[in-house]
Amino acid sequence: MDDQPDKRPKPKTGKSFLAGDIPLLHERAVECPYCGETFTINVDGSAGDQAYYEDCEICCRPILFHSEVDSDGNLLRLGVAREDD
């Protein structure tokens, strides 16, 4: 066994998961359709197209999010709508 240092790249910790060079977790600023305040959400691109509810961080009302991603996990569109629309 030789005493040469390991020159292989070390995995990075604390970073978002990557598929190639494309992050699958997308941070986006959105405007609440009820109160009009802006807040930040994270969209998971690894799950494909999604429709889900998440409460506004300011007024706590339910917002319908619809995300569209391509086959590589890139976020193409993020729709925001009121629950009663």
The DSSP bridge partners found for residue 40 are: 29
Owning domain of residue 53: 25-82
Number of other CB atoms surrounding residue 71 within 10 Å: 6
User: What single letter denotes the amino acid at residue 29?
Assistant: A
* Interval 25-42: pLDDT, tens: 899 999 999 999 999 999
In total, how many domains does the chain have?
A: 1
Q: Considering the domain boundaries, does residue 55 fall inside one?
A: yes
Question: pLDDT 10s per residue in the chain (85 long)?
Answer: 556 766 666 544 444 455 555 568 899 999 999 999 999 999 998 889 999 999 999 999 999 999 999 988 889 999 999 988 7
57 belongs to a structural domain = yes
| pLDDT score of 10 | 54
Rounded Cα distance, 22 and 5, in Å: 30
